[in-house]
Chains A and B, each alone.
Chain A
């Protein structure tokens, strides 16, 4: 297996972050508190990944058992992400997309992308993440006229409680942690890859939520702030960004799902004891 570069590993992981950001719901929590919680979650994920990666690899029956467990987890994570995406699409664009068909199409496309191999997925992930960041930056620029730093406040009575709840929620949504550990074993510089991912996750989440908080204020706390920002941002060429957000959200979700499917397949191969096929 060709070792991945740290950028490729981080990019595939950031697809999870990007996919999650678009549907993030603070459930009434202060957005500045959310920023803190998400940043802390990124740091915790990094530390956990490093610890697990430093553990020795298991062989024999123990190894197969772990592979089986991991494979099941990856499949379950894929299904959760798939269903979660379909439900959110229904919520955001109810007139157009029916849940069963959306799920079927996304599943088929994800399987196809996964069948292209890990290298195809990670390279595509690099492109997807770069494009997503650029579009988010342009969107933020389009909404910048409404930005007011005074909306970034911590006037919350239950600051610690909100922080804890958001942190737990962020960690619970970190499906990509086992995949990160798996990919770290295939990356040339695993620690740097994990650090790059954690930094990227923190920066991306903090950046976009800061803009959301500064533009939307308390309005963004009750809804999906990023989608709301997308429907407010306006530029000369693109009048509104929610359609573009749908595009990049779908792209990132698809690639994230492909990564999970590849991981599940890899674990299955580990259970079956099949060696990796090398190209002739």
Chain B
């Protein structure tokens, strides 16, 4: 780590002076713990941040061994310092610094700083003991046959989850930092020899060039890592809570960012078709995978386009619907006060409202939402004639379908409304215009020369096998899909 040149906050020659400077640097922060003692005639001090370092580890790994190593002989400050910094291994995580700012940053990450009288450097030992969540099941990406472990908020735990699954020396884990105030640790992971080095370099450049003062979640980094001016509907950077997914993507030659404080890792680049893949696909028979992929594509269509197409067909082109369906629809709509378009808008907004409420509400009142949503809004609204029952079926189907692809939930929600507005006001003309604009927007998205819509557009025969099914075990043995195979040649201009 580069040392900052600022004499005011440099480690002083005396312990008292050092501690004073440290307290001044931290503004007399209440969570700064300091203790000093004399070890074999040499004055030492230990500084930690309350709740970040483990007192037990500090005592067992650092302080007691320090005293034991020092022995009974009198030590000089230099010899004691040399003993703990060079001639012993108290912990594997040890850093030397002469900057108190640097020392403070490390203390905020759970290090204990040891100052020795007469020495102008501090030794920092990693004795993290902060409270952290245990490794649990991921909150969103559930599966049946895969691992049930998900990332946590602690970077080191996440790194260990990845390392445990990728026991190869070519897995590189580079430490970066972002956020001038938060100093958030970021780990860039990739497989050397498989990942595109230009992409890795570019990612590092973008993270280092960030001028944010706080980076609290992985989502805050995304806009700065994406290409384009942020007007893309889809993001070429994916996110996942699952270590097995991260390892699979690393094996495909992608780069992954693990961010301290966020259980969501960022995968660069990500493709549109990957939102339709799950971990269970690798554990299932190919014919079942084919069926499930088709179901997911249909679900996406239902979630995004179906309500808009339904409104467009019913309002502008009812001859395209079958007679019996149309008769039922006409009979149902005859008693409702609003037009089909307005009903669809109302119920879609209600759906979003209920989704948002179910995410934000306290668990204790969870059942109330189910009752309110299902009985009151659903059944009563139909019986009172505010909305028609065919519409409720459509929206129920749409809502269910939208949960099939959680990775595209933002786009699904917004695009659904856009399609309803377009279809309701302009029929199939509006649907076509919106579809063209969305297709162009998605097709123009990409990262590192890899189009977001690959391997569909442009079509790649090798990658196409992964769209609807998974490759056979024999094919996987012979060659692995590497993301750089989908890259187009260099040079882009508008």
Whether a CB of chain A sits under 8 angstroms from the CB of B436 is yes
Q: Do residues B428 and A123 form an inter-chain contact, with CB atoms below 8 A?
A: no
The residue among A123, A128, A238, A254 with the most chain B CB atoms within 10 A of its own CB is: A123
Q: Do residues A105 and B433 form an inter-chain contact, with CB atoms below 8 A?
A: yes
Q: Which residues of A contact B488 (CB under 8 A)?
A: 2, 119
Q: A2-B489, A5-B458, A254-B433 are in contact. Are A124 and B439 (CB under 8 A)?
A: yes
Whether a CB of chain B sits under 8 angstroms from the CB of A117 is yes
**Shortest CB–CB separation between residue B445 and chain A, in angstroms?**
8
Whether a CB of chain A sits under 8 angstroms from the CB of B323 is yes
**Shortest CB–CB separation between residue B234 and chain A, in angstroms?**
12
Within the assembled complex, what's the spacing in Å between the Cα atoms of A277 and B433? Answer: 29
In residues 444-489 of chain B, which contact A (Cβ within 8 Å)? 444, 451, 453, 456-459, 488-489
Q: A2-B490, A254-B436, A255-B436 are in contact. Are A124 and B443 (CB under 8 A)?
A: yes
Q: Do residues A112 and B440 form an inter-chain contact, with CB atoms below 8 A?
A: yes
Which of A25-33, A144-152, A207-215, A242-250 forms part of the interface with chain B?
A: A242-250
Whether a CB of chain B sits under 8 angstroms from the CB of A3 is yes
The residue among A3, A126, A239 with the most chain B CB atoms within 10 A of its own CB is: A239
Q: Do residues B459 and A126 form an inter-chain contact, with CB atoms below 8 A?
A: yes
Q: Do residues A250 and B458 form an inter-chain contact, with CB atoms below 8 A?
A: no
In residues 147-187 of chain B, which contact A (Cβ within 8 Å)? none
Whether a CB of chain B sits under 8 angstroms from the CB of A75 is no
Q: Which residues of B contact A73 (CB under 8 A)?
A: none
Q: Which residues of A contact B227 (CB under 8 A)?
A: 279
Q: Which residues of B contact A246 (CB under 8 A)?
A: 317, 427-429, 432
Q: Which residues of B contact A258 (CB under 8 A)?
A: 436, 440
Q: Do residues B493 and A113 form an inter-chain contact, with CB atoms below 8 A?
A: no
**Shortest CB–CB separation between residue B397 and chain A, in angstroms?**
15
Within the assembled complex, what's the spacing in Å between the Cα atoms of A59 and B483? Answer: 40
Q: Do residues A254 and B492 form an inter-chain contact, with CB atoms below 8 A?
A: no
Q: Do residues B321 and A239 form an inter-chain contact, with CB atoms below 8 A?
A: yes
**Shortest CB–CB separation between residue A127 and chain B, in angstroms?**
6
In residues 70-104 of chain A, which contact B (Cβ within 8 Å)? 89, 93, 96-97, 102
Whether a CB of chain A sits under 8 angstroms from the CB of B262 is no
The residue among A242, A276, A277, A279 with the most chain B CB atoms within 10 A of its own CB is: A279
Q: Do residues B440 and A116 form an inter-chain contact, with CB atoms below 8 A?
A: yes
Whether a CB of chain A sits under 8 angstroms from the CB of B441 is yes
Within the assembled complex, what's the spacing in Å between the Cα atoms of A254 and B440? Answer: 11
In residues 321-376 of chain B, which contact A (Cβ within 8 Å)? 321-323
Within the assembled complex, what's the spacing in Å between the Cα atoms of A254 and B431? Answer: 12
Q: Do residues A123 and B317 form an inter-chain contact, with CB atoms below 8 A?
A: no
Of the residues B437, B458, B494, contact of A126 by C-beta under 8 Å: B458
Whether a CB of chain B sits under 8 angstroms from the CB of A198 is no
Q: Do residues B440 and A113 form an inter-chain contact, with CB atoms below 8 A?
A: yes
Within the assembled complex, what's the spacing in Å between the Cα atoms of A119 and B227? Answer: 15
Q: Which residues of B contact A238 (CB under 8 A)?
A: 320
Q: Do residues B317 and A242 form an inter-chain contact, with CB atoms below 8 A?
A: yes
Q: A106-B433, A127-B457 are in contact. Are A117 and B444 (CB under 8 A)?
A: yes
Whether a CB of chain A sits under 8 angstroms from the CB of B282 is no
**Shortest CB–CB separation between residue B412 and chain A, in angstroms?**
19
Within the assembled complex, what's the spacing in Å between the Cα atoms of A128 and B491? Answer: 25
Q: How does the 8 Å CB contact mask read for A119-148 relative to B, with 1 for contact and 0 for none?
A: 111011011100000000000000000000
**Shortest CB–CB separation between residue A170 and chain B, in angstroms?**
25
Q: Do residues A102 and B451 form an inter-chain contact, with CB atoms below 8 A?
A: no
In residues 180-231 of chain B, which contact A (Cβ within 8 Å)? 227
A interface SS class = helix
Q: Do residues B491 and A251 form an inter-chain contact, with CB atoms below 8 A?
A: no
Whether a CB of chain B sits under 8 angstroms from the CB of A192 is no
**Shortest CB–CB separation between residue A253 and chain B, in angstroms?**
9
Q: A2-B488, A243-B313 are in contact. Are A117 and B437 (CB under 8 A)?
A: no
Q: Which residues of A contact B427 (CB under 8 A)?
A: 93, 96, 243, 246
Whether a CB of chain B sits under 8 angstroms from the CB of A240 is yes
Q: A239-B323, A251-B435 are in contact. Are A119 and B492 (CB under 8 A)?
A: yes
Q: Which residues of B contact A2 (CB under 8 A)?
A: 488-492
Q: Which residues of B contact A242 (CB under 8 A)?
A: 317, 319-320
Q: Do residues B440 and A276 form an inter-chain contact, with CB atoms below 8 A?
A: no
**Shortest CB–CB separation between residue A186 and chain B, in angstroms?**
11
Q: Which residues of B contact A278 (CB under 8 A)?
A: 491-493
Q: Do residues B458 and A8 form an inter-chain contact, with CB atoms below 8 A?
A: yes
Q: Which residues of A contact B457 (CB under 8 A)?
A: 123-124, 126-127
Whether a CB of chain A sits under 8 angstroms from the CB of B297 is no
Whether a CB of chain B sits under 8 angstroms from the CB of A109 is yes
Q: Do residues A123 and B453 form an inter-chain contact, with CB atoms below 8 A?
A: yes
**Shortest CB–CB separation between residue B205 and chain A, in angstroms?**
10
**Shortest CB–CB separation between residue B310 and chain A, in angstroms?**
12
Between A and B, 11 residue pairs with Cβ closer than 8 Å are: A112-B437, A119-B444, A123-B444, A123-B451, A124-B443, A127-B439, A247-B429, A251-B432, A255-B436, A255-B440, A279-B491
Interface residues in chain A, defined as those with a beta carbon under 8 Å from any beta carbon in chain B: 1-3, 5, 7-8, 89, 93, 96-97, 102, 105-106, 109, 112-113, 115-117, 119-121, 123-124, 126-128, 238-244, 246-251, 254-255, 258, 276-279
Known: A96-B426, A247-B432, A250-B433. 20 other contacts (CB 8 A): A2-B492, A3-B489, A7-B459, A102-B429, A105-B429, A109-B437, A112-B440, A113-B440, A116-B440, A117-B494, A121-B443, A123-B439, A123-B453, A123-B458, A239-B322, A241-B320, A243-B320, A247-B431, A255-B436, A279-B492
Closest 4 CB pairs of A and B: A120-B444, A250-B432, A243-B317, A123-B443
Interface residues in chain B, defined as those with a beta carbon under 8 Å from any beta carbon in chain A: 227, 312-313, 316-317, 319-323, 426-433, 435-437, 439-441, 443-444, 451, 453, 456-459, 488-494
